[in-house]
Chains A and B, each alone.
Chain A
């Protein structure tokens, strides 16, 4: 049974989750980012890999799904605080008894769960149009990896939105931040193909461990230690990011209240 003190935060996360999803269904940019763009990426990759084994194509299913997750996180979750500012709702949210990171957590969760649909779209595309068959070698590990992927992406999103709120100039770099993560996190091909000096950058990004865990769950012969490493890194990095995000929120909210930039004039 859920303890009583956890009920209000869970209710808040649930409420933010529900209202975000209800608003997103009307947003064509979001629909493009989480469905159309991953379809284009999946189509191109599947076309290139159609003569390869099915094991190669599974990279595409998971990889294109991950691209949808990252795009959603970077653009939708990243913009969420600035969007609230433009709507004039940020002042209301800050003046609530609820901590703002909790609301953003619920919003990010909605965006990430919604983006999972891109993985389903890619899967349907590969099976229906390219006749590829996939097997998930370790279904239990796949489910755990998927849950931890959601958690690590949601946590990662908590650090992006306050940075964009603090300095909208950084938001101008959003487009430049999209593809490097696709590559560094091995969404579409293994990072072993990249120069060695890029590996440390991959290791500090939670999406890399998420992609590695999901790829391992679909590959025969993956060891338990491999899963343990990926899951452990996801939990560790998410906890670290959560801690930094909390501090960042405090500083950013103090700064915007001090500068008088919480609302648009």
Chain B
């Protein structure tokens, strides 16, 4: 039996606009998606902001009712059997909210463990274990309002594990964390996967999905545009080469010229202090370099490198193709 089965799931939000002349507007957040997750699998849901990742997770955690379609978690329907799903799932939504800031970490965990029906004798052992697991053993008695964002995020993970759930939903668990904090969270997720928990992880950090997930679904505008293993997704862009160039103050006009080159697939730019990293996808690799350099004539160019595509490159292509 699959741990999670999603069939033609769709969710439309209806909003009203105006005061006197009220009109309604429909926003399709999730548009007919289907996928399955096996028991013990770590499955990634990748997509840009507003792609429908959080909406999907909220439906699967019974917090949102789908407009149409069905989904089952451990064989239970997310609408009809919500009360059977809730005791066996744990979830965290990215961000700092969702905890009682005026209480200590131990008090928060004590409160939630009673609400999760964890026996007091069990929670007495489990709370110190979880605090150690997430690296908060020495700060458990402090009020949460003094915690950093990363500490709150780690406490969220401890809270989600209080009742030892079979299925975990992690919505952007490393969002806004510093590199060290994010690495610690990834290690915790990896440890949980080793315990054979089924995990649905959403992220827009490609390396995170690449390092952790067995399979990845790329979602954009509410649609699943690709579903494969990270290796499989990378194979989809095997024909591509990525040319990386360090440039200084590149004007928009030049970017437009680069995009118009027939051998260039995509152009993206990333600011890095005073310089910018120009990433150009091309099926012709270094052969396209002469045309590119012609466009950049007169501009200061630093390091130039041609490399194999990563999962991020596959993602950029998939997302771009569905725009």
A residues with a Cβ closer than 8 A to B are 8, 11-12, 14-16, 19, 22-23, 26, 87-89, 91-98, 103, 254, 257-258, 260, 262-263
Label chain B's interface by main secondary structure: mixed
CA of A92 to CA of B61, assembled, Å: 10
Interface segment among B89-97, B240-248, B301-309: the answer is B89-97
B93/A91 in contact, CB under 8 A: yes
Contacts A15-B115, A22-B102, A88-B95 given; indicate if A262 touches B107 (C-beta within 8 A).
no
Interface size class of B (residues with CB under 8 A): 20 to 34
* Contacting residues, chain A, for B98 (C-beta < 8 A): 87-89, 91-92
| Contact among B64, B83, B101 with A97 in the assembled complex (CB-CB below 8 Å) | B83
Q: How far is the CB of A110 from chain B (nearest CB, A)?
A: 12
- Residues of B near A92 (CB, < 8 A) are 98, 112, 159
Contacts of B226 in A (CB 8 A): none
Interface centre among B11, B87, B111, B159 (most CB of A within 10 A): B111
B124 located at the interface, meaning its Cβ lies under 8 Å from any Cβ of chain A in the complex: no
Residues A95 and B63 in contact, CB atoms below 8 Å apart: yes
Q: A16 → chain B, closest Cβ, in Å?
A: 8
Interface residue from A14, A89, A97, A103 paired with B117 (Cβ < 8 Å):
A97
| Nearest CB of chain B from residue A26's CB, rounded to whole Å | 5
Q: Distance in Å from the Cβ of B23 to the closest Cβ of chain A?
A: 17
Contacting A12 at CB < 8 Å: which of B91, B101, B114?
A: B114
What residues on A are CB-neighbors of B61 within 8 Å?
A: 95
- A257–B97 CB distance below 8 A: no
A262 adjacent to B64 (CB under 8 Å) = yes
8 Å CB interface, B222-271 against A: none
- Chain A contacts for B134, CB-based, 8 A: none
B296 contacts chain A at the CB level, 8 A cutoff: no
A87-B97, A87-B99, A91-B93 are known contacts; what are 16 more A-B pairs with Cβ within 8 Å?
A15-B110, A15-B111, A22-B107, A88-B93, A88-B98, A89-B97, A91-B58, A91-B63, A93-B115, A96-B112, A98-B115, A98-B116, A98-B117, A257-B65, A260-B55, A260-B58
